[in-house]
Copies of this chain bind each other. A is one copy, B any other.
Amino acid sequence: MKIVIVGGVAAGLSAASQMTRLAPQAQVIVLEKGSDVSYAACSMPYNLATPGTPVEKLYALSLDTIQKERGIDYRLNHEVTQIDPVRQEVAVSDLVNRKDYREAYDFLVVATGNQSNRLTTPGFDGEDVFYFRTLDDTRRVKNFIREKSPKQVVMIGSGYTNLEVAEVLFEMNIKPVLIDKAALILPMMTAETREKVLDKIAEKQLDFFVSTDVLEKSGSVVKTSAGDFDADLVIVAAGVRPNTKLFADAGGELGVAGAVKVDRYLRTNFDTIFSGGDCAEHYVRQLGTNGYVPLGPVANKQGRLVGNNIINNQDMRMFFGIDQTAVFKFFDLTVGSTGLHEKQLQDLGKSYAKVSVDSPTRGYFPGGGRMRIVLLFEKGSGTLFGGEIVGQDVVAKRLDILATAIYNQMTVFELAELDLSYAPPYSPVWDPILVAANQAIKQV
C-alpha cells in the first residue's frame, strides 16, 4: 500500500508515524513544501526569547530519525501542485532540483495546515512586516531582531499568539503596541475573564487600541484610526484560514470556515482522501457537529487517527472530538477556556447561568496567587457548559478538571462532589473549583 501525505507538520507527521508503526511494510511518502521538518509551532514565541537557541531546536524529530527510524519517505521542498482524485495521483514540484513529477497513491492525506490572513493595507509588504505562523517566520523575526535591535513593535491583532509574542518581546525590551480592529479583545471569552487580561495589559502599561483600523504603513510609521505609531517591526496576526485551494481545485468539498469537510472517520468526499489538522474541520462533542478549532493537540490526534483509519481501513474508528479546550500564558497570568463559549450559548439560544468566583490558589504555603473561575451552566439542570480560568499558579491543569467534567456532562452539583487533592503547596482545603461549583449551585 502506498500513501501520500501532503504537508509534513503536525497532522501530516502524526499520520505518517502511525502508519509506519501499524504497517511497517506500507510505503509512506510525505511531501512538504517547506524546508523545515515537523516542528512545535506553539513553542515559537518562546524560542524568540533565547537568541542562542536555533529555531531548529523546535523540530519534533530530525529528518534522519523520521526517515531511518520511522521509515517515512519524508521529502522537504516538495510542493504538491495538483491532486487528481480519479487517477489517484498528485503532481509534485521538487523546488530545489526544479523537477516536476507525478506520484500515485492508494490513499492521500491532505494535511496542508492553515495560513495567516494577509494585510492588503498599503505599505505592509516590506521586510519589517512579519506574520508569525511558520518556523520560517520565526527564523526571520529572530534574524531581524538580532540585526536591527528594534525598540518598538506594532502588533496587529490581539489573539492568543500575539499576546504570547507581546509578552516575550516586552521582556526583551521591545515595546509592543497592540492594535485590534475588533471592539473586544478575546471575543469568545466572557467579560469576566477579559477584564483580568485588560487589567494585566494596564498593569504592564502596554499600548493597546481596540476598534482601530490600520490605514497604511509609510516608512516606519503605522497610521491607524487611533493615531500614528513608530514601528521598528510589525507583527501581524489577523486570523488564519485553512489551506484548501489544492483540495478544492480537485473537486474537494469544503465545510465549516472553509476547511476541508470531513466525516467522523476523517474522510473527505473522496473515499481515498483523508484530512486532519489545521486545514480540516474538527468535531466538537458538545455541538455534535464539526467546528474549526486549529490547535496543536487536535492536529496530532486527528493525524494519528487518519493513520489508523487508512491502515485499518476495514475497521475505522470515529474521531472522538474535542471540547474546545485552549490555554495561553500572558505574563504571570494563565488564561484558558474549555467547553462552549458564552457567545456560542447565546447563538444556540441556551438557557444558561454564569458565576465568576475569585479565589486564592493556596492557603498558607508561599508561591500561590489568585485565580478567577467562570462557570457557564444550564439553568434548571446545572449541566456544565463551559469554564474559563484566568490567574496565577496552576491554571491549565485546573482547567483540565473542568474539561474532564464537560466530557462527562457533569452538573455543577456533581462538580462540587469531586474529591480533589489537597496539600498546602497545591491548593486551599476547598479547591477554587469546588468553591466555584458551590457558588454555581446557588444559581441553577
B297 A422 Cβ-Cβ under 8 A: yes
Q: Which of B42, B397, B421, B431 contacts A336 (CB 8 A)?
A: B421
Q: Which of B164, B338, B365, B430 contacts A43 (CB 8 A)?
A: B365
Q: Shortest distance in angstroms between A167's beta carbon and chain B's nearest beta carbon?
A: 11
A419 B396 Cβ-Cβ under 8 A: no
Contact with B along A413-439 (1 / 0, CB 8 A): 010011111111111011101000000
Interface residues of A in 189-206 (CB under 8 A from B): none
A328 at the interface (CB under 8 A from B): yes
Q: How far is the CA of A280 from the CA of B421 in the complex (A)?
A: 20
Q: How far is the CA of A421 from the CA of B326 in the complex (A)?
A: 5
A429 B334 Cβ-Cβ under 8 A: no
Q: How far is the CA of A164 from the CA of B321 in the complex (A)?
A: 41
Chain B residues near A365 (CB, 8 Å)?
43, 46
A313 at the interface (CB under 8 A from B): no
Interface residues of A in 148-174 (CB under 8 A from B): 164
A295 at the interface (CB under 8 A from B): yes
A429 B396 Cβ-Cβ under 8 A: no
B424 A400 Cβ-Cβ under 8 A: no
B407 A421 Cβ-Cβ under 8 A: no
Chain B residues near A404 (CB, 8 Å)?
401, 404-405, 408, 418
A26 at the interface (CB under 8 A from B): no
A58 at the interface (CB under 8 A from B): yes
A390 at the interface (CB under 8 A from B): no
Chain B residues near A414 (CB, 8 Å)?
407
Q: Shortest distance in angstroms between A239's beta carbon and chain B's nearest beta carbon?
A: 19
Q: How far is the CA of A57 from the CA of B364 in the complex (A)?
A: 9
Chain B residues near A405 (CB, 8 Å)?
404
Question: Would A297 and B327 be within 8 Å (CB), given that A400-B420, A421-B396 are in contact?
Answer: no
Q: Shortest distance in angstroms between A84's beta carbon and chain B's nearest beta carbon?
A: 33
A363 at the interface (CB under 8 A from B): yes
Query: Which of A47, A322, A425 gathers most chain B CB within 10 Å?
Result: A425
Given contacts A325-B421, A404-B404, 7 further A-B contacts (CB under 8 A): A40-B364, A42-B423, A46-B424, A321-B419, A327-B423, A397-B427, A404-B418
